[in-house]
Each structure stands twice: as C-alpha cells, then as structure tokens.
Amino acid sequence: MKICKGLAGVVGASGLALLLSTSLTAAPQDYGRNNAVYRADRISTQGRISSISREGDRYLIRLDHGNYDYWVPVSTMGARSLQIGAPVRLSGLVAGDLVNVDLVAAANEPYYTADPNYVAVPYGTSGWMTGTVQNLNRHMGYLTIREDTSGALVKIDVRHMDRGRPVSVWRIRPGDRITINGSWEKRDTFDATRIEY
C-alpha cells in the first residue's frame, strides 16, 4: 500500500508539472495593447528604408528621416525581404543613437498602422508619443497631432527642440505620422525635444 501511495504521489506531481509546463509553452503570445506596458525608452516610428545591411545575426537599417540606427535581429526580420525604399514600421528600445528593434512591420502588415507595443505617454512623465499631424502653427511654434492610442488631440510645442539634432519641423504636413520625444507641459501640451518622421 505504501508503494501505491508513493507512486500515486510521484505520478500526480509529474502530471501537475507536465500540465503546468505545457500550458506555459503552448500558450499563444498576445501582443495586444492590453498587455503593453509604458516604457519611456520605447520608440515606434514609420519611414522608408534608406539603407539596409546584414551584420552577423542582425540587420542595420536606417530610415529616410531621423538619426537613429535600427538594429534588427535576423529572427525578428523573419522571411521579409525588405529593400531600400520600402515603407516600414520599426519599434524597439532606444539606447543612445541606436534602437534595438523588437517589431518590424511592412506596409501590407497589420502592425504597420497599429503597433501593439505602443502605449501613450502618461501625463506627468516623458517618453515617445506617436500620432498623425492635424495642423501646424508656425507663428506660435506648435503643431497638433491625433495621438495613436487615445485618439486625443495633443498640442506639440516645438520651441524647445534639441537643436543639435535638427529636424525641419515645418516640412511636416497634415496627415504625416510622426513620433515625438518629450514631456508633458500641461494636460493638453507635450513639449518636444526630438521628432522622428
């Protein structure tokens, strides 16, 4: 009887361990907005590829705007055959002047228009905000975007931008999608230090 109870305990424990490990490895990964967590160092931007080269186990991509180098692991690139001039969304973590990319989406893919990792910058903090330009007021030094997640209109104050990394803000047009780094000035105004578009 002791052997039977001991065997039942081992079988039960093994079965539970197997069940738990199966559910962890078999669970599909959900990259939906409900699971995304805000990170001040995350950028999500769109552009056209101006250069692309494979360097070991990753690709180095530059876009037609901004000053970042985007490092994309071969596994993240997948079977995509991206070429110079192709429109793409790149999302990842900023480290100095490079971005470690964890999401790539070509123009015909769902995540191109809606990055599941993007979370709006909470009021009172700083970070990267993404949206579509609605209008510009050059005289007052701001533009207005419709922020991607909430759909709210946000005034972007461009008077304090980092002049060491100039972007010709006034070449931006309504309808352009831009990504802005900065912090909240007031509840409806975001103070830009850098813009990628």
pLDDT score recorded for residue 165: 53
Domain that holds residue 99: 42-112
pLDDT > 50? residue 146: yes
Return the CATH number at 177.
2.40.50.140
Are 182 and 140 in a shared domain? yes
| Residue 100 · residue 89 · CB < 8 Å | no
pLDDT at 33 over 70: no
Q: Decide: 182 and 194 in contact? Cβ < 8 Å.
A: yes
Assess whether 192 and 135 both reside in one domain: yes
Is residue 79 a part of any domain in this protein? Answer: yes
- Give the end of a domain, one of 70, 86, 112: 112
Domain-ending residue, one of 88, 112, 136: 112
Of residues 37 and 13, the one with the higher pLDDT is 37
Give the 3-state secondary structure of residue 193: strand
The residue type found at 10 is: V
pLDDT at 90: 94
Whole-prediction pTM: 0.69
| 69 assigned to some structural domain | yes
Least confident of 17-26, 130-139, 184-193: 17-26
Residue 145: inside a domain, yes or no? yes
Are 141 and 176 found together in one domain? yes
Of 27-31, 67-71, 139-143, where does mean pLDDT reach its minimum? 27-31
Q: Are residues 75 and 99 in the same domain?
A: yes
In a domain, 28, yes or no: no
Please check whether residues 106 and 162 belong to one and the same domain. no
Transcribe 101-158 into DSSP letters.
Answer: EEEEEETTSGGGTS-TT--PPPTT-EEEEEEEEEEEETTTTEEEEEETTT--EEEEE-
Report whether pLDDT(12) > 50: no
For residue 93, how far is the Cα from the chain centroid?
Answer: 8
pLDDT of residue 163: 54
pLDDT for res 15: 42
Indicate if 140 and 78 belong to the same structural domain. no
Query: Over the stretch 42-62, which tens digit does the pLDDT of each residue have?
Result: 999 888 999 999 999 999 999
Name the token pair of 127.
């970070």
Query: Which of 89, 112, 135 is the last residue in one of the domains?
Result: 112
Query: Residue 78 falls within a domain, yes or no?
Result: yes
The structure tokens 């705007």 sit at 65
Q: Is residue 75 part of a domain?
A: yes
pLDDT tops 90 at residue 93: yes
Residue 18 has what pLDDT?
36
* Same domain (yes/no): 135, 162: yes
Same domain, 133 and 108: no
